[in-house]
Structure 1
Amino acid sequence: MTRSLSVLLASLSLATFAGSAVAANYGQVLAERSAVSFVSKQMGVEVGGSFGKFDASLQFDPASPEQGRARLEIELASIDAGSKDANDEVVGKAWFNVKEHPRATFESTAVKALGGNRFEVTGQLTIKGRTRPATAPFTFREDGGNGVFEGEFTLKRLDFAIGEGMWSDVGVVADEVKVRFNVVAAAAR
């Protein structure tokens, strides 16, 4: 639930990252080498999870990060929230409602260099039929001809109606969810 939203945001943010001192255009996301995870708090205890399936498109030239763009779609039913019971619960109507909203999407609107190997991607995140602006800082580095985008940001699950009814009590499940991402993309040849 909260973790799933975090993972989604993280995946979206990673797909959008751009920037590096190396002159290459990174455009093919290597999903099998990439990961989106999240951490939320339930009754004060950190609980983590991840998403197993996502599609991403990315265009990034470190020499022109402001030209970067990305789109990410996460299959919400691919969540791993730590147990079968938790997975079954978070795909339901009160959490992600995957029957009506099977995917979360992120579409970038801007990428900004922050100095060094640090960047920030901004865009529109849509989860459960609600669209909100989202911003995620990230770092970029080259590794063996691939670009590696790593970052973390916090989202508020209630902005997306994730955890309705009795689950909207932030004393039980915190509103804030940390989304962490590690996206690997191949350079265009």
Structure 2
Amino acid sequence: MKNSLRTLTLSAFVTGVAFATAAHAGIDTAKSTLTATFKQMNVPVDGSFKKINATIQFDPANLGSSKAQLDVDVASFDLGSAEYNDQVAGKDWFDAKDFPHATFVSNAIKAGANGAYSVTGTLTIRGKSNTVTVPVQYHKDGAAQVFDGVLPIKRLQYGIGQGEWSDTSLVADDVQLKFHIVSNGQ
């Protein structure tokens, strides 16, 4: 049960990373993080994705030409246990063999107040795609661009948690994808 929950968390985390991405550069993988938080039997569980790739083109003065594309290796989801990690990569959760990557591709970025942006795009996990809007907080750190946010998703919309794991009393449907994405700069 804990293993399946961790797999669900990985899916959420992948979604969050996908939405967080937005500058014309790759990301600094040593400084960037994507975590998924979910509840298993009402106990919060966190996991993180270790392999994330992204291409970001972000210009606050020209949002029409700004875009982001994120790719997450779902088998890199880490719950802190090799046994749990193997379970979440399996058929009931991420099915990493048949669906090795989760992706996010932006199609619109809108400015808000005080460095806040809304990034709308397509999130695909386990071959299931949904349009999502990700709230992103942006700031510069030297030459790097930094994007932070949290994207709530429903794991069952992406087929994460098959069979007994589709029971939301065991593993909640709600997953919070938390991201801190640092671009390599322009």
TM-score w.r.t. length of structure 1:
0.91
The list of structure 1 runs, each at least 4 consecutive aligned residues, that deviate by more than 2 angstroms after superposition, is none
Contact in 1 for aligned 2:35/2:46 (Cα 8 Å): yes
The SS at the match of 2:45 is strand
| Unaligned runs of at least 5 residues, structure 1 | 19-25
Q: Which residue of 2 aligns with 1:33?
A: 31
Q: Among residues 143, 146, 150, which one is paired with 1:145 in the alignment?
A: 143
> 1:29: how far off?
1.7
Please list the CA deviations of residues 151-186 of structure 1 after superposition, one character each: whole Å capped at 9, or x if unmatched: 001000000110010000000000010000000113
Sequence identity, in percent? 38
Q: Which residue of 2 aligns with 1:65?
A: 63
1:6 aligns with 2:4: no
Q: Which residue of 2 aligns with 1:91?
A: 89
Q: Which residue of 1 aligns with 2:114?
A: 116
Please list the CA deviations of residues 107-149 of structure 1 after superposition, one character each: whole Å capped at 9, or x if unmatched: 1111110111100111001111111111110101111221110
Q: Which residue of 1 aligns with 2:49?
A: 51
RMSD (CA atoms): 1.2
For 1:77 and 1:107, the matched residues in 2 are separated by 20
Contact in 2 for aligned 1:66/1:113 (Cα 8 Å): no
> 1:82: how far off?
2.6
Alignment length (residue pairs):
180
Q: Which residue of 2 aligns with 1:171?
A: 169
Contact in 1 for aligned 2:26/2:53 (Cα 8 Å): no
TM-score w.r.t. length of structure 2:
0.93
Q: Which residue of 1 aligns with 2:153?
A: 155
Please list the CA deviations of residues 36-82 of structure 1 after superposition, one character each: whole Å capped at 9, or x if unmatched: 01100000000001000011000001212343101111001101023
Q: Which residue of 1 aligns with 2:126?
A: 128
Contact in 1 for aligned 2:8/2:94 (Cα 8 Å): no
